[in-house]
Chain A
Amino acid sequence: MEKKEHKEKATTQFDDWMIRIAFAEAGEPEMGFRLTGSEIERKTRLALDKIMVVRSERQKAEGESEVAANLGGEGVAAEPRGERLRVMVLDDEPIVGRRLHQALSKQGIEVEVFEDPRSAIARLGEAHFDVVVTDFRMEEINGVQVLEYVTAHCKHTRVILITGYATVEVAREALVKGAFDFIAKPFKPRDLRAVINKAALSLGFTTIE
């Protein structure tokens, strides 16, 4: 059953948040309450349109680079894509790392766990990861900075942000900065696996099992 869901379309948390972000853009944080107010409605629609444009452009760019990568032949595709999905987990809570390692590796995923963002970024320079799961709030370097590093340096890496508390601001920032998706604490291993699955699908992996 799970598998079927994943195969349909890689829907992300952003889809649910889109309307909320649009409302916030329109200056109406209490979403839906005054939908009939034409001014708010108009603004919200405008914002929504704008967000959709941003998102589709980003997806198009990704698709193009993907296509380009595929067309470019073996050279570029030589991006080390192993048989197994490589995932980096970055969270300053050691228990999160321990459990996610436990939960993901039993799915046949290669997991590397980091508690310190600096060493994680250093490791990103050395090795390729398909998916980076990072906490949003950390000392010194936060999740968004990691995300920025990844989008700048590793084109084929999907970033999944773990946020303590999902707010419009966080969602918007993650969306604009190019995160694949975000997941709010507290979550269950199953939830994360589903998101990682989507990311894997978008990268051309077959479903992990």
Chain B
Amino acid sequence: MNSRTPPAPGHAPASAVWTARAGAQPPASSRAVSAEVSPDEAQAALQERPSLSIRRQLSVGFLLSLLLTLALAIVSMLMISRIIAKLAFLEAATNYTFEIQEARRYEKNYFLYHTDLSGALEHVRSARRILDEEGRNIAAVIGQAGFDTMTGHLKAYESLLSRLPKMDRGPAAPRETSAETQIEGQLREQGAQIVAVAEDLVWKERNSVNSMLAISQPVPVAFLGILILLMVYLATFISKRVLSPLNRMMAATRRIAQGDFTPLVLRRKYRDEFSELAMAMNHMMHQVVYRQELLVTTHKLKAVGTLTAGVAHELNNPINNIILTASLLQEDFQELDREKCLEMINDLVAESERAQKIVRNLLDFARESEVELESHQVQQVVEETLRLASNQIKLAKVKVEGIVEEHLPPIYGDRQQLEQVFLNLVLNALDAMPEGGALRIKLSNSEDREFVAVQFEDTGIGIPKQHLREIFDPFFTSKKAAKGTGLGLSVSLGIVQRHGGDIRVESEVGKGTTFTVLLPVAKVPANIGNSSEAPDS
């Protein structure tokens, strides 16, 4: 019953930053968290780029489409008003033609039936009125010269007409006088011209209206096309500038959740709101890493405190021996023979060395040191840890048994941090066995030979099922107030995950608990040689 779901061994976990780096060129010393880019560099790079905010870009895009729409509306309005004007003018031109035609009808009647000419004159006058009113428009359509000839023709026609009735003619008068015939000829000619011009004007106007309509038809279509293009651009822009960074940020948060604190680096040439977010996230990661280091240190100090109690207990023995021996030497110096003296002095030296050894392990562990990534033999690290906790183990009356598989590959990591993890598990096991018991430590290779598994199997009280999920949460503790910080397993898991490994737990209440630490195998053969240099006891 695995309570946690670690990455399946076989493919390297996503957070295997160290392992990945180990493959290239293992640095002698580096901070655990620093990756290819230091946080400060990343921040600076993010900040250096020119600023181009999404807000500004979006505003420009929407302003453009607004302007386009506005322009379309204005152009359409202008065109429609012009068409309306043209239509009105066309009507006027038609009226003018009509008037001229009417006038010519009266003129014809006059000549044929000798009717009154006043009707013709009246129509000519109204035609004149129309010409006066629409003069400018007509001039615009046919040109000033055309207009002048038009008015000239009309004037001539009118004057010819007005001259007719002055020729007094009786009903019996000969039907045609020479003067009258002359005028009639001129009138016909003028009239025909006027009509021709007027018809020409109407035709031209109609053409112009038609062409205008033809022009105004595709304009909205063109605008629509431009708008669609703009919208497409805006959509792609939003997806490119908003959605893809969002996805990137999401991927980054997932990566961060797995414990990879590599700072985000720039991917675009300009700076925008997402750069701000990236910087904020980098800052957050920096802080998280800092806090985590703080937690690791805090927890280590707590472990040192626990160990110190054991050391204090254990130190009492050599110190007692030294005091007893030295006091006796002092008391009986005169009486003792040289041989006895020498024996006692030898005891003194041996006991002093014993005291030194008791303290040295703890000091080695407690010493603040930079994270040093080297390849180690797990067995050595475990043995070192057991030496460290030997006083506690003795106090707790726990028997420790070790099982080591042959030919274990070395692992790659920081010795002190790994010791901290193992120590925490050992101390937890001791706490779980208040009445004493057995702790079996088994070192083996995972099936795919990618990991070294370190198993701590105790015969303690076990962990209730409902707690198995919580034990790795920070500040979860089953120990009484002030006894546990609730940080041990959380910090241990953090350390192991940053090594690219994982911790699993199996437990049965009343029978015991097994913690398994999986550590990735060191992948650089050249580095294996270093492991033998690890300090031995």
Chain B residue contacts of A165, Cβ below 8 A = 312-313, 316
Q: A164 near B: Cβ within 8 Å?
A: yes
Nearest A residue to B317, CB-CB: A93
Q: Give Cα A99 to B395, complex, Å.
A: 25
Chain B residue contacts of A185, Cβ below 8 A = 316-317, 319-320
Contact A103 B313 (CB under 8 A): no
Q: A27 near B: Cβ within 8 Å?
A: no
- How far does the Cβ of B389 sit from chain A's closest Cβ, in whole Å? 17
Contact A99 B316 (CB under 8 A): no
Q: A72 near B: Cβ within 8 Å?
A: no
The one of B327, B332, B347, B351 in contact with A188, judged by C-beta atoms closer than 8 angstroms, is B327
Q: Give Cα A96 to B332, complex, Å.
A: 17
Q: A189 near B: Cβ within 8 Å?
A: yes
The one of A95, A106, A137, A187 in contact with B325, judged by C-beta atoms closer than 8 angstroms, is A95
Contact residues, B292-312 vs A (CB, 8 A): 312
Interface residue tally on B, bucketed by range? 10 to 19
Chain B interface helix/strand/loop/mixed? helix
Chain B residue contacts of A102, Cβ below 8 A = 328, 332
Contact B316 A189 (CB under 8 A): no
Q: B52 near A: Cβ within 8 Å?
A: no
Q: Give Cα A185 to B313, complex, Å.
A: 9
The one of B312, B320, B328, B347 in contact with A187, judged by C-beta atoms closer than 8 angstroms, is B320
Q: Give Cα A164 to B313, complex, Å.
A: 6
Chain A residue contacts of B321, Cβ below 8 A = 93, 95-96, 99
Q: What does the 1/0 interface line of A59-93 toward B look like (CB < 8 Å)?
A: 00000000000000000000000000000000001
Chain A residue contacts of B351, Cβ below 8 A = 95
Contact A190 B327 (CB under 8 A): yes
Q: A204 near B: Cβ within 8 Å?
A: no
Nearest A residue to B325, CB-CB: A99
Q: A37 near B: Cβ within 8 Å?
A: no
Chain B residue contacts of A96, Cβ below 8 A = 320-321, 324
Whether A189 contacts B313 in the complex (CB less than 8 A), given A93-B321, A95-B321, comes out as: no
The one of A93, A106, A190 in contact with B320, judged by C-beta atoms closer than 8 angstroms, is A93
Q: B536 near A: Cβ within 8 Å?
A: no
Chain A residue contacts of B317, Cβ below 8 A = 93, 164, 185
Q: B331 near A: Cβ within 8 Å?
A: yes
Q: Give Cα A9 to B54, complex, Å.
A: 92
Q: B323 near A: Cβ within 8 Å?
A: yes
Q: Give Cα A186 to B324, complex, Å.
A: 8
* Most central of A96, A106, A186 by chain B CB within 10 Å: A186
Contact B320 A186 (CB under 8 A): yes
Chain A residue contacts of B325, Cβ below 8 A = 95, 99
- How far does the Cβ of A145 sit from chain B's closest Cβ, in whole Å? 13
Q: What does the 1/0 interface line of A162-197 toward B look like (CB < 8 Å)?
A: 001100000000000000000001111110000000
Q: A100 near B: Cβ within 8 Å?
A: yes
Q: Give Cα A164 to B319, complex, Å.
A: 11
Q: Give Cα A96 to B260, complex, Å.
A: 55
Contact A186 B332 (CB under 8 A): no
Chain B residue contacts of A106, Cβ below 8 A = 332
Q: Give Cα A154 to B492, complex, Å.
A: 53
Contact A95 B324 (CB under 8 A): yes
Contact A189 B312 (CB under 8 A): no
Nearest A residue to B313, CB-CB: A164
- How far does the Cβ of A2 sit from chain B's closest Cβ, in whole Å? 13
- How far does the Cβ of B254 sit from chain A's closest Cβ, in whole Å? 49
Q: What does the 1/0 interface line of A99-115 toward B look like (CB < 8 Å)?
A: 11011001000000000
Q: What does the 1/0 interface line of B412-441 toward A look like (CB < 8 Å)?
A: 000000000000000000000000000000
Question: Which residues of chain B have a CB within 8 Å of any CB of chain A?
Answer: 312-313, 316-317, 319-325, 327-328, 331-332, 347, 351, 395
The 9 closest A-B pairs by CB, nearest first: A186-B320, A99-B324, A95-B321, A185-B320, A185-B316, A186-B323, A164-B316, A188-B327, A186-B319
Cβ contacts A to B, 10 pairs, < 8 Å: A96-B324, A99-B328, A185-B316, A186-B316, A186-B320, A186-B324, A187-B323, A188-B324, A189-B324, A189-B327
* Given A102-B328, A187-B320, A187-B324, 17 new contacts (CB under 8 A): A95-B321, A96-B324, A98-B347, A99-B321, A103-B324, A103-B331, A137-B313, A137-B395, A164-B313, A165-B316, A185-B317, A185-B320, A186-B323, A188-B323, A188-B324, A188-B327, A189-B327
